């Protein structure tokens, strides 16, 4: 009795908590298999908003979705032409950059989430990259992180897809995330944010498992665990391929 009364008084004093919105998430697939014929994959992200009260009479609900691949350090070098030769003049080790990063929003990014919340949750592509170890002598060190973004955007590894999340009646949402063929193995963290007025009101995190399978998995493990055998096998295949091409050319020439 007393516990129920205390709970009612608590939610009366904190109405925002009583009207909390939660995410019920779904994925079309939570595992991506990389094979010799793999040319990319589309992941359907969909879900619903669970409420204990009617839809708040405030700003419309927006949804922001991010998919992030494994992070790794990246060495970025800047070249300049000197005496007709391009040479490296500066280099910066970007401490951590995701191998893949996609952001999808239900509205223009700056309307879907505020700058303060972006800094807090590291949602946008620039915020997902961490570069704090640049040499003090390197000028415009931030340009090196921007170069990583520019290069990976051109390769289809980084993207911002505004207005691509469909939200129905502030309850159901869905979008499709395209993953290119040049993925690396690992767990791809998927985050979904619900926002109102640019402020995050709920979030959920899940993983998509990306792995090589079949012959690709065997060769990958062999190259890491038995590099000597992998090297000898590669040499034997190269010799056999060269001999086979030479024999075929000889047969064709003698006809």
Burial (0-12, 13-18, 19+ Cβ within 10 Å), 249: exposed
Single pTM value for the model: 0.72
Distance CA 99, CA 9 (A): 48
DSSP per-residue codes, 22-58: EEEEEES-SEEEE-TT---EEEEEEEEEEESSSPPSS
Range ranked top by mean pLDDT from 94-103, 157-166, 211-220: 157-166
Task: Give residue 237's pLDDT.
Answer: 72
The closest of 27, 31, 33, 28 to 181, measured between CA atoms, is 33
Tell me the CB-side half-sphere exposure of residue 46, using CA atoms within 13 A: 8
Q: Rounded distance, CA 117 to CA 169, Å?
A: 24
pLDDT the model gives residue 8: 39
The helix or strand, by DSSP H or E, that contains position 242, with its residue range, turns out to be helix 227-254
Residues 6 or more apart whose Cβ sits within 8 Å of residue 226: none
User: Where is mean pLDDT largest: 32-41, 194-203, 229-238?
Assistant: 194-203
Read off the pLDDT band of 164 (50, 70, 90): very high
> What's the confidence (pLDDT) of residue 15?
44
Residue 195 reports pLDDT greater than 70 = yes
Higher pLDDT, 62 or 232: 62
Nearest residue to 21 via CA among 47, 49, 63, 2: 49
Spatial contact of 198 and 180, defined as CB atoms under 8 Å apart: no
Query: Which of the four pLDDT bands, split at 50, 70 and 90, describes residue 153?
Result: very high
Summarize pLDDT for 79-115 with one digit per residue, the tens. 666 766 766 567 777 888 999 999 999 999 999 999 9
117: burial class by Cβ within 10 Å (0-12, 13-18, 19+)? middle
Q: Are 45 and 193 in contact (CB under 8 A)?
A: no
Interval 27-80: pLDDT, tens: 776 677 766 566 678 888 999 998 887 777 778 899 999 999 999 888 877 766
Task: Flag whether pLDDT at 229 surpasses 80.
Answer: no
Q: What is the pLDDT of residue 124?
A: 95
């Amino acid at each position: 009795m007393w516990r129920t009364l205390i709970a009612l008084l608590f939610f009366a004093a904190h109405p925002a908590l009583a009207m909390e919105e939660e995410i019920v998430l779904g994925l079309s697939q939570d595992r991506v298999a990389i094979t010799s014929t793999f040319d990319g994959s589309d992941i359907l992200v969909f879900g619903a908003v669970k409420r204990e009260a009617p839809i708040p009479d405030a700003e419309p609900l927006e949804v922001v979705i991010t998919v992030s691949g494994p992070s790794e350090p990246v060495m970025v070098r800047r070249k300049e032409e000197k005496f007709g030769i391009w040479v490296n003049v500066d280099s910066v080790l970007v401490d951590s950059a995701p191998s893949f990063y996609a952001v999808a929003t239900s509205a223009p990014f700056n309307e879907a989430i505020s700058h303060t919340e972006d800094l807090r949750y590291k949602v946008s592509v620039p915020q997902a990259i961490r570069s704090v170890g640049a040499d003090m002598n390197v000028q415009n060190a931030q340009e090196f992180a921007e170069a990583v973004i520019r290069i990976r955007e051109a390769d289809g590894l980084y993207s911002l897809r505004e207005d691509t999340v469909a939200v129905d009646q502030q309850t159901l949402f869905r979008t499709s995330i395209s993953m290119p063929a040049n993925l690396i193995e690992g767990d791809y963290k998927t985050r979904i944010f619900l926002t109102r007025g640019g402020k995050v009101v709920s979030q959920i995190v899940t993983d998509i498992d990306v792995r090589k399978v079949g012959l690709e998995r065997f060769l990958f493990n062999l190259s890491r665990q038995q590099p000597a055998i992998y090297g000898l096998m590669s040499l034997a295949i190269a010799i056999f391929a060269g001999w086979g091409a030479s024999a075929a050319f000889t047969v064709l020439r003698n006809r």
